Structure 1
Amino acid sequence: MSAATPDATTPNSHRPASPLHDLMYGHIHASALRAVVVHGIPDLLADGPLTVDELAARSGTRPDPLHRVLRLLAMRGLFRRHAEGTYALADSGEALRADVPGSQRPAVLLFTDEMFRRSAEGIEDTLRTGRTGFDAAFGLPFFEHLGSAPDESRLFDTAMSSLTSGVNEKIIGSFGFPDAGTVVDVAGGRGGLLREVLTRNPGLTGVLFDRPETVTDHLLDTEDLKNRGRVQGGDIFTAVPEGGDLYLLKNILHDWPDEDCLRILTGVRRAMAPGARLLVIDAVLPEDGTPHPAVAPDIVMLMTLQGRERTAGEFEDLLNRSGFRLHRVLPTPALTSILEAEAV
């Protein structure tokens, strides 16, 4: 018998799961992940391994279902099952805890939320109609829905902050910011990126611009940023703050179709003096179609928004049509790249 052929008489011999079966069970893995996060299982394991009975008693869950779900997630590398029957967090599962720097708990709760589950279910119809699954499920566009749903809006903003925790440092380390001037972060969320920029570059001042309900809970109220950053609420399709020396658009253009990107970029250009610079911080897909990790977020755009991930050539076309000249594309250690453009 070949060593590569499983021995049917050996209990632990089995064929590995095929990529097809892994995809088929994808929604099950996501639902199991959400369940343990909702019940706080990762937080209960912060101080070390516990038995399933102990975890169940402390979380208000039932031991047998909990064991079976943890067994599945241990196969995905998030938990470790010890010989004595206890479970512990694996290194890759530490980010599921609520109390760790860079916690991904909010991101897990967002992307396993009903908003995204129902949107994904609609991809079948999106292929036929072009309409996003989100629009079909909820009856209005994604950001309009967030505007009328405060709890989901807060979850979205918190999840975006969690996803970019640690990423902002990688982005900032990939670009030489000026010693002085004003940085305007357009649609900058709660200001995580701008806070890092100002902290690392004490000669800069900044303006955080986003929806009023978003910037209310901003991150610029630290003592070391006192009098160096201000917050302004508004609509990126109406007008953005004028007079900045450097403008940032991080993970914004991929949310929108080309015509809306042109509206955003034209509005930003209107606020800028010739020679001022714009940094578009977004994933950049290879021109030749080789695999890239941003292909998965592109499907998120397909099912929730009318946006898309783009190639450098597609970005350059949008920039040229709205009054910018693309200077260079800088890779970063993160998923995103930096497209540096100048107002002409």
Structure 2
Amino acid sequence: MENGIANAIVDEYLTLVDDSCVALLPHALRIAAEFGLADLLTGGPMDVEVLARSVDADVGALYRLLRALASVGFFEEVTPRVFALSALGRRLCSEGPDSVRESVLQSDSYHAWAAAPEAFRRGTPVPLSSGPHGGGQDFFAHKDVDASAGRSFTRRMRERAASCYAGVVSIVDWSRSTVVLDVGGGDGFLLSAILRHEPRLTGVLFDRPSVIASVAGRLGELGERLRTVSGDFFRELPDGADTHVMSSVLHDWPDEQVDTILERSRTALAPGGRLLIVEMVVSPGDTWHPSKWSDLGMLVLTGGRERTGPEFEDRLNKAGYTVSAIRPIPGSYFTLIDAEPR
């Protein structure tokens, strides 16, 4: 994003504040996703009255929602009060390679940011307090005890991998790899893509027991080439893999915990192996970059942080790794960091 666009967003917000598109777009998208409007419109344009009956909504209110979202490209009013789905709007469908439906439905951020001033005073995240299992728990403990919240988070991470860094598969030279360990790999989306790209590789999907239990039986297409292991990466990682992958993992944690994760990786990594990290890298200076905003989200939600290139190098050096390359992932704000054991 150019700084000119960033300035336009800021100006629009400061002019209208709580009535601005910037403030209201996340809520409008969440309602559209909850109603399943995009899925309903995949068959073609529909009159707003028919849509309203389908989702049990007030006709006038639904028209105003669709009109607002059409103004930013998610729908199109093809004739008066008849709406069609746009290419952008298809990202709200429940299925599709670039769907973000689960991500816009999530409510963790809303609840956390309502109490965010306390996080900035203490420098620690806001305990989740919403829902039947949320009382006072940290982000991942909440996902472990609330199965629905856990499944939702896993689906959101799949959406992030698909939309933000699926391209990493094609920029890595896999010729020196034999066994790939995906640390905190969620439902295995990225690891499965790697194994399909390189049929001679085998893989190990590692995550918390609640995550592995939720994806058990859904990875059968790769047969014996992919196995799952549950555990705690603060304690130990499975050994034997010569390539470790960590995507959107380290930013969840403060430095002390990151050091532990990297040390466990260094201990488990096979001789001659390497570590591949996929994260956003904070850009220097005042230029706009989403990492600077995601960094605030990590502070409030998990206590983690986004990091600069030198900060990644410091953490890796402390754990016994040396950074061999830092390269952008094409078409993405994310970066691939290659690290070798010292």
Q: Is TM (by shorter chain) over 0.5?
A: yes
Matched, 1:93 2:89: yes
Q: Do 1:198 and 1:206's aligned partners in 2 also have CA atoms closer than 8 Å?
A: yes
Matched, 1:119 2:126: no
Matched, 1:153 2:150: yes
Matched, 1:247 2:244: yes
Distance 2:193 2:276 in 1: 15
Deviation at 1:222, TM superposition (A): 3.7
Q: Show the counterpart of 1:72.
A: 68
Q: Do 2:69 and 2:75's aligned partners in 1 also have CA atoms closer than 8 Å?
A: yes
Q: Show the counterpart of 1:143.
A: 140
Which AA in structure 2 matches 1:43? D
Distance 1:129 1:322 in 2: 27
Q: Secondary structure at the match of 1:226?
A: helix
Matched, 1:169 2:173: no
Q: Show the counterpart of 1:339.
A: 337
Q: Which runs of 5+ in 2 are unaligned?
A: 1-10
Matched, 1:256 2:256: no
Distance 2:216 2:308 in 1: 32
Q: Secondary structure at the match of 1:287?
A: coil
Deviation at 1:65, TM superposition (A): 0.8
Identity of aligned pairs, percent?
33
Q: CA RMSD in A?
A: 2.0
What per-residue deviation string (whole Å, max 9, x for no partner) do you get for residues 224-269 of structure 1?
A: x222111101011111010211101111000000000001001111
Q: Show the counterpart of 2:295.
A: 298
What per-residue deviation string (whole Å, max 9, x for no partner) do you get for residues 251-299 of structure 1?
A: 1000000000001001111112443100111111123342212222212
Matching residue within 15, 18, 22 for 2:12: 18
Q: Do 1:180 and 1:203's aligned partners in 2 also have CA atoms closer than 8 Å?
A: no
Deviation at 1:87, TM superposition (A): 1.1
Which AA in structure 1 matches 2:48? V
Q: Show the counterpart of 1:13.
A: none
Structure-2-length-normalised TM-score: 0.89
Distance 2:232 2:117 in 1: 33
Distance 1:230 1:22 in 2: 52
Matched, 1:130 2:128: no
Distance 1:289 1:339 in 2: 23
Matching residue within 46, 49, 55 for 1:50: 46
More helix by share: 2
Deviation at 1:55, TM superposition (A): 0.6
Distance 1:302 1:158 in 2: 22
Which AA in structure 2 matches 1:133? V
Matched, 1:324 2:342: no
Matched, 1:267 2:267: no
Deviation at 1:191, TM superposition (A): 0.7
Structure-1-length-normalised TM-score: 0.89
Q: Do 1:190 and 1:219's aligned partners in 2 also have CA atoms closer than 8 Å?
A: no
Distance 2:272 2:95 in 1: 44
Which AA in structure 2 matches 1:31? H
Q: Secondary structure at the match of 2:298?
A: helix
Q: Which runs of 5+ in 1 are unaligned?
A: 1-16
Which AA in structure 2 matches 1:235? D
Q: Do 1:126 and 1:303's aligned partners in 2 also have CA atoms closer than 8 Å?
A: yes
Residues 298 and 45 (structure 1), Cα distance of their counterparts in 2 relative to 1, 3 Å cut: same
Deviation at 1:88, TM superposition (A): 1.4
Q: Show the counterpart of 1:41.
A: 37
Distance 2:69 2:92 in 1: 12
Which AA in structure 1 matches 2:12? S
Q: Do 2:323 and 2:339's aligned partners in 1 also have CA atoms closer than 8 Å?
A: yes
Q: Show the counterpart of 1:11.
A: none
Q: Do 1:248 and 1:279's aligned partners in 2 also have CA atoms closer than 8 Å?
A: yes
Distance 1:279 1:295 in 2: 22
